[in-house]
Structure 1
Amino acid sequence: MGNYFTGPQNLRWYRVTKENIASVDDPFAQREAEKYDNPIPSREFILEHLEQVNKPMRLEQLADSLDIFPEDEERFEALSRRLKAMLRDGQLIKNRRGAFGLIQKMDLIKGKVIGHPDGFGFLSTDSMDDDLFLSAQEMHKVLHGDEVIASVIGEDRRGRKEATIIEVTHHNSTQLVGRVHIEENMAWVHPNNNRITQDVFVPADGLLGAQEGQIVLVDILMQPSRRHGPIGKIVEIMGDYMAPGMEIDTAIHAFGIPNEWPESLLAELDQIPNQVTEADMEGRKDLRHLPLMTIDGADSKDFDDAVFAKRRKNGWRLVVAIADVSHYVKPGSELDKEAYKRGNSVYFPQRVIPMLPEKLSNELCSLNPQVDRLCMVCDMNISDDGQLERSQFYQAVMNSKARLTYNQVHDILTNEQSEHKQTFAPMVEHIESLNELYKILLKSRSERGALEFDTVETQMIFDADRKIDKIIPVVRNEAHKLIEECMLMANVATARFLKWHKLPILYRVHEKPKEEKLKKLKGFLADFGLQLGGGDEPTAQDFDAVMSQVEGKSYSHLVKTVMLRSMNQAVYQPENKGHFGLNYEHYAHFTSPIRRYPDLLIHRAIRHAWLKQGTEGFAYTESQMEVFGRHCSDSERRADEATRDAVTFLKCEFLSHRLGEQYQAVISSVTSFGMFVELDDLYIEGLVHITELGEDYFHFDPVRHCLKGERTGLVYRLGDRVEVQVAQVVLDTRKIDLRLIRHLNPNPVLEGDSVDKVEANNDLPQADSDEDGEGKPKKKRRSRNYRKKRKPRGPKAES
């Protein structure tokens, strides 16, 4: 058996057998023994070993210290492959002498590159709260999404920590979608993803017959480096630039959203019956008598939640039944692998890329009316003051008694003469019970201090050519909020239940705002005579108190917008840190396993706990959940970026036919280079560049979210109203440039406002017209900065 390694803490690793596994210090020795006939040390053990020897080690040194010798070719090669994989995954780094070392010991950082449309980028790391800045020069080496090893080299001129890239451990992009450009004997593809600013050079023999301006798919043959940009060849001509639906196809490819089902998955899907069978129902509680109903949007096709509420002697019973996707999608199956890969369904205008095939998402797992369906049930007791008292989870079979829409339910509750009361007569009593419970839950929400920001959602109405005809706001009525409160209560019950069972799961975590953002927010609020309570640890109730103070004030929208932007983004992670915005101590996603992979994982945990198996034998570990959480958070952001890209292109195209038209708008964001404004009625954002603001030097105040003129004192701040003209639309970069016509409420006097009140700026550019407001020709006048040009005199002019 040979000698085994004895380190500073007597770590031991040698050839593992069933007999000696208990004496091996590798905590994952059992896992390695189950996976391999001739196991080698786990990644975790190798990292701990290098930590203790406290020096980089070459392959031969490391193998010898782990009792793995070159004569044992199979295990020696396995160790070599493992070390290469650890290099690839950024767990180790190899120095110039060929020795493997720990990244943190070499003052290096592993991270993911985030590109910016302006050419520079950032490095997102798990070990640091703030992203590291990457200059445009550094970004020449990589593409957005690449995983790298980097070193901090100091700070840039804005005080941001700056990094240089040492090594690329994983290239994210092997294919790109973009628009091909051909000029003489040269061709290049400009990527559709605006986070990738490098064009892909295409040699003449790699054009595949593509024509100027077409959308193509290009394979990257050579990744970028310091010396050259990416080089590739065209493998598919996707179509013409302005073809209907092309914006969605390009977004799918540009952001790497999986959209084709593997053959192995389709074969597995064929083995699943088309209907719920008697065998499927065995061991389940029968809820088919219960008047459960689904309430969704009018265009919804997958119904994953049904509800029922009933008044009791002391409180309420609320039943939330969720489609039992985990019954059909088993861990490690082809369906499971693809669902994890996708992470979530992606909702584009007029098109959905589902997480699960339609046989499951729209049929077997959809709680369609009047058919038997398998479900996972959260059965709750709620007090008269809206508090969750008890809950139980069980597997059941149900039969939805009605499929209602939000508008139908709202009409039933608010209109005595509603025709829907006749159509859904058996359900009216149950709808009213749900509404009564909703009012109790809403009061509890208000007392809890949960945050609710008024954001406007929009819907695009398309014409026959799949182009935008008009954009309308989506009004959230009481039926939307009713279902939302039921789902929130089920999610809280789920998190509490699994927390008690001590299973590793993914919580939906929304952390409190970061210290720097809090400091800026407090400075901003002080201008309005407002104070955020809670000191250094404000709660959601403290934020809610401020929003209550500004309700009905002229600057209410401004304050709420700035407060919303101070918030962190919610993520999935196994460490429970609560949900700040909703003011919940425990919160997890349980209610949408058809379209979110974290919910599917939660269902598996519930089943495991329900079968009273304890923590032993659960399919997942804490470390696996960490990986799942990062992936699902990333796939959620990927879906958001892809849909935003497609929607932005459609809006740009819509506005490109309206050049010269004038609109009233509200300033939605202020930056150092200008201000973004949202056009009334269209809900489309465009940029008013700082050079459009008049003949003055304007300075950006990031705390007060405004631009202020140095000479005139004129102030443009977030929330102000302006009138603008559409000047230019660039479809390739999704940019809308607007010309400022006038400030509709210049320098309003706000409570606590310390900005100097000044007269309106007469130097603002005017609309393109040769007449004034009375129809008279305008007088040509010189600007204040005009200087009369003189002819040069004598040799002095040449000096």
Structure 2
Amino acid sequence: MDKELLENRKNMIYEFMCSDLYVPMKLKEMAILMDVPRDERGDLEQVLSELLNEGKIELSRRGKYSRAESRLLCGTFAGNVRGFGFVSVEGEEKDIFIPEAQVNGAMDGDLVQISLPPGKPSGKRREGVVEKILQRGVTRLVGTFQKSKSFGFVVPDNLKLAQDVFVPLEHSQGAVDGHKVVVELTGYGSDRKKPEGKVVEIIGHINDPGTDIMSIIKGYDLPMEFPEKVLKQAENVAKPVSTADMAGRKDIRDWQTVTIDGEDAKDLDDAITLTREGDHYRLGVHIADVTNYVQERSALDGEALNRGTSVYLVDRVIPMLPHSLSNGICSLNAGEDRLALSCIMLIDKKGNLVDHELAETVVRVDRRMSYTSVRKILKDQDEAERAEYQELIPMFERMEELAAILREKRRKRGSIDFDFPETKIILDRQGRPLEIKPYERNVATRIIEDFMLLANETVAQDFFWQELPFVYRTHDTPDSEKIQKLGLFINNFGYSIRISQEDIHPKELQKLLDKIEDTPEEPLISRLTLRSMKQARYTTVNTGHFGLATQYYCHFTSPIRRYPDLQIHRIIKETLRGKMTEKRITHYEELLPEVAARSSQMERRADEAERETEKLKKVEYMSEHIGETFEGVISSVTAWGMYVELSNTIEGMIHVTSLKGDYYHYHEDTCELVGEATGTRYRLGQKIQIVVADTDRMLRTINFVLPQDAEKFGLDVTPESEGQQEEKEL
């Protein structure tokens, strides 16, 4: 049934059920009354199912349909380790709280129908009741197998799945205590009965190297191997660039061209050219033409859409495309002819875009540069490095000059720049963490970032004004309630932000971050500002990018590792070739909403998996440092304790129950824990010394205590090592 017909039938049947003449009836009774032929009853059932999912009608235990009396909503249930949960409903600003007693068998990820009690308690979060589970979100899970004499059970790794899974021994595949397994659920249990399942894969023993990361990969259902058909297709298309391939393309192989990436990068999908023309800069951002090899609706394309993005875990990369493409013909390797899609921009000395051209090109990179080399050339003035790349130095200096102009222009319009260090984790061959440290941005990483931002903006603006179907990268204005809370909090430090008509301009937040730069409260206010903002996502409607303070933004620069970029390249090329007909416009209007939704969903999954592997290795690393003393900064304060972040980016918690000698109250308005008797205060951004108390690999948590409390927890305290002290002084 097409969408228009379905909507018409839904409206007709709902109006019928709302009439005074209607009495609750079963599907069969309704079909007879409405004279629906037997072979069309499936359509009627589909219409009723849609109305049920929308919460407009109810289905009684006796199978009778009636108009919904209480307000019913549908959404996704997110479980909590303590038994309660939340339901996120599309179109509703806030999630709805589900108390433990009202969960009624729902599990994390389930699509559920909930009812809301009449009225809304003032000042409180709305509460609901799970009335019906419409669709199960979890059919498989990963966990640790534990065996008893006559049966086994699996403790899920996902803490939001609060119940263990019962496994009959005949369905255990011979798993033993401590095996990490994948379980397929065969039953979801009830109030008196646990969920039941069967082991479909044994990943390995919990103590075996690599089992920990593989458990996360399986838990997030990340696809490891490419189907044979996809691999064969990749090999078939990954042919050297021929004269025929170059036909009709702009040949820029004689332009001085470089790639700048990390030392260990293998998929080099962006190259840069930059010349000075009087008072103007001509900047070329050249992106690998991946769509030349990944055709729409091919097996390669289907697999790329399914994956959505490459996933960067601590010990491996799970690519969106096979290596024969991503590390081969689609990688802009030095000295080799490559097909590219180029955004060539003319920029004046104030950073304004004067003109631009989008073109299918042929490029040949002169040198493959690393961020470290470019930093040595520009900042360290390293003689050996400058001698090695002498012919490129003028271009690198122009790059630094132009990047500074572009950054200042973005700053003036209010673009928000959060400079939190990423984590770099160095593992040994067994996967054990040897070192964990912050991975700071430098002059070279900023140059590439600035140029990619401009190319992404330029492409988005171009296609917005062409009024063609497109995938935008949007970032909505923060919730006014969160901004109001931020405003109240920063008043405690003597700062303020201007909010007009419940909205805030990004420039206000950027001005705040400028004011707090190099102050003791900078880490604290920066984090709270970040937490007050929404997540960016992919959409087909251009609503602008709040964080970058721009009306136009998209992802154009990484088609090897992000599906939206790949899709955008197709749209650009069809437009350049004059093939964007009405038929193709309709095609994209139907296709792109699914692409945007799927890509946003897969991005979230990748982000969560990456965070979990980092947390895992951080816990493993700190388990070797029990009893050692470190200095950190309080990064979050709650009623149950405070989180402390160390200089190596590792975060742990000091539970309020471990603060001996006083009773501590949490003050929400100032984000402080205050001792009732002593008046001792612990607040966000405060530097304190901590002792590593213990770690939990299952929960992936790290617990700290204060040095004065360490002995009470039986810890043999080691003071800060000389190495830690030297690092602090540096």
* TM-score of the pair, normalised by structure 1: 0.83
The corresponding residue for 1:740 is 706
Q: Of the candidates 364, 370, 376, which is equivalent to residue 335 of structure 2? A: 370
Distance 1:320 1:687, change over 3 A: same
**What's 2:615 paired with?**
648
Which amino acid in 1 is paired with 2:163? Q
C-alpha displacement at 1:299, in angstroms?
0.9
| 1:43-71 deviation per Cα after TM superposition (whole angstroms, max 9, x unaligned) | 4444454465564997679879999733x
Moved more, 254-263 or 55-64: 55-64
Partner of 2:367: 402
> Secondary structure of 1:419's partner?
helix
**CA 1:88–1:466: 2 relative to 1, 3 Å:** farther
Matches within 5 A, 1:306-705: 306-535=271-500, 536-612=502-578, 613=580, 616-618=583-585, 620-622=587-589, 624-680=591-647, 682-705=648-671
Distance 1:313 1:50 in 2: 70
Please point out which of 103, 122, 136 is paired with 2:86.
122
How far apart are 1:232 and its partner, in Å?
A: 0.5
Q: Distance in 2 between matches of 1:65 and 1:769?
A: 77
Structure 1 residues 299-320: Cα deviation after superposition (integer angstroms, max 9, x where no partner):
1111111111111234221111
* One-letter amino acid matched to 2:177: E
Letter in 2 for 1:652: V
CA separation in 1, counterparts of 2:390 and 2:365?
A: 15
Rounded Cα–Cα distance in structure 2 between residues aligned with 1:717 and 1:471: 26
- Identity across matched positions, percent: 36
**Which residue of the partner structure matches residue 206 of structure 1?**
171
In the TM superposition, what is the alpha-carbon distance from 1:119 to its structure 2 partner? 3.0
**1:219 equivalent in structure 2:** 184
Q: Call closer, same or farther: CA 1:546–1:258 in 2, change over 3 Å.
A: same
Q: Secondary structure at the match of 2:335?
A: coil
Q: What is the CA distance between 1:619 and its match in structure 2? A: 6.0
**Deviation by residue 1:735-784 (Cα, 9 ceiling, x = unmatched):** 22222225xxxxxxxxxxxxxxxxxxxx998786899x9xxxxxxxxxxx
- 1:290 counterpart = 2:258: no
1:132 aligns with 2:99: no
* Structure 2 residue 52 is matched with structure 1 residue 113: no
Task: Determine the C-alpha separation between the residues in 2 that align with 1:227 and 1:503.
Answer: 56
Structure 1 equivalent of residue 682 of structure 2: 716
Q: Give SS of 1:567's match.
A: coil
User: 3-state DSSP class of the match of 2:285?
Assistant: strand
**Residue type of the alignment partner of 1:441:** L
AA aligned opposite 2:609:
A
* Corresponding residue SS for 2:693: strand
**Mean CA deviation greater in 131-140 or 711-720:** 131-140
Give the aligned partner of residue 152 of structure 1: 116
- For residues 212-266 of structure 1, the C-alpha deviation after alignment (integer angstroms, 9 at most, x for no partner) is 1111111111124444332101122111112222222111111122222223323
Instruction: List per-residue Cα deviations over 1:500-553 (Å, max 9, x = no partner).
Output: 121232211111221110111111011122110243322111112222222232
Secondary structure in 1 aligned to 2:159? coil
The Cα RMSD (Å) is 3.0
Counterpart residue type for residue 107 of structure 1 = R
Moved more, 60-69 or 493-502: 60-69
Question: Measured at CA, do residues 480 and 50 of structure 1 come closer, stay the same or move farther in structure 2, by a change above 3 Å?
Answer: farther
Give the unaligned 5+ runs of structure 2.
19-23, 720-730
SS at match of 1:248: helix
2:103 and 2:42 map into 1 onto residues whose CA distance is 35
Shift, 1:704, TM fit: 1.8
Conserved 8 A contact 1:191-1:254: no
Q: What is the distance in 2 between the residues matched to 1:231 and 1:516?
A: 43
Tell me: CA distance 1:429–1:54, structure 2 relative to 1, closer, same or farther (3 Å). Answer: farther
The match for 1:16 is: none
Counterpart position of 1:168: 133
Secondary structure of 1:511's match? Answer: coil
Q: Distance in 2 between matches of 1:278 and 1:609?
A: 23
Q: Determine the C-alpha separation between the residues in 1 that align with 2:641 and 2:261.
A: 41
Task: Give the direction of change, closer, same or farther, for the CA distance of 1:253–1:557 in structure 2 (3 Å limit).
Answer: same
Q: In 2, Cα distance between the equivalents of 1:571 and 1:652? A: 30
Letter matched to residue 592 of structure 1:
S
Q: Does the 8 Å CA contact 1:492/1:587 hold for their aligned counterparts? A: yes
Distance 1:157 1:583, change over 3 A: closer
Q: CA deviation at 1:77?
A: 6.5
Distance 2:213 2:145 in 1: 18
Paired residues of 1:372 and 1:397 also in contact (CA < 8 A)? yes
In 1, the alpha carbon distance for the partners of 2:505 and 2:284 equals 30
Larger Rg belongs to? 1
In structure 1, the partner of 2:694 is 728
Give the structure with the higher percent helix. 2
Q: Using the alignment, how far apart are the partners of 1:64 and 1:399 within structure 2?
A: 72
AA in 1 matched with 2:105: K
Q: In the TM superposition, what is the alpha-carbon distance from 1:713 to its structure 2 partner?
A: 2.0
Q: Deviations over 1:257-280 (max 9, x none)?
A: 222222332343344243233333
1:26 match: none
Any conservation in 1 of the 2:480–2:503 contact (CA below 8 Å)?
no
- Report the counterpart of residue 69 of structure 1 in structure 2: 37
Q: Give a deviation string over 1:541-591, Cα, whole Å, max 9, x none.
A: 111222222223222222222222211111111222211111111111111
Distance 1:114 1:221 in 2: 21
2:210–2:430 Cα contact (<8 Å) kept:
no
Question: 1:32-51 CA distances to partner (integer Å, 9 max, x unpaired)?
Answer: 5xxxxxxx964444445446
User: Residue type of the partner of 1:540?
Assistant: P
Q: Look up the SS of the partner of 1:409 in the other structure.
A: helix
Alignment of structure 1 residues 758-797 onto 2, 5 Å: none
Query: Which residue identity is paired with 1:109?
Result: L
Higher relative contact order (CA 8 A, sep 6+): 2
User: Could you say what secondary structure the match of 1:288 adopts?
Assistant: coil
| CA deviation after TM superposition for structure 1 residue 139, in Å | 4.4
Specify the SS of the correspondent of 1:202.
Answer: strand
* Higher alpha-carbon deviation: 125-134 or 157-166: 157-166
Contact 1:413 1:432 in 2 (8 A): yes
Question: Relative to structure 1, is the Cα distance of residues 486 and 623 closer, same or farther in structure 2, using a 3 angstrom cutoff?
Answer: same
Please state whether the residue corresponding to 1:442 is helix, strand or coil.
helix
Shift of residue 80, structure 1, vs aligned partner = 5.7
Q: Which amino acid aligns with 1:653?
A: E
Aligned to 1:776: none
293-302 or 546-555, larger mean C-alpha shift = 546-555
| Distance across 1 between alignment mates of 2:517 and 2:135 | 50
Q: Give the length in aligned residue pairs.
A: 709
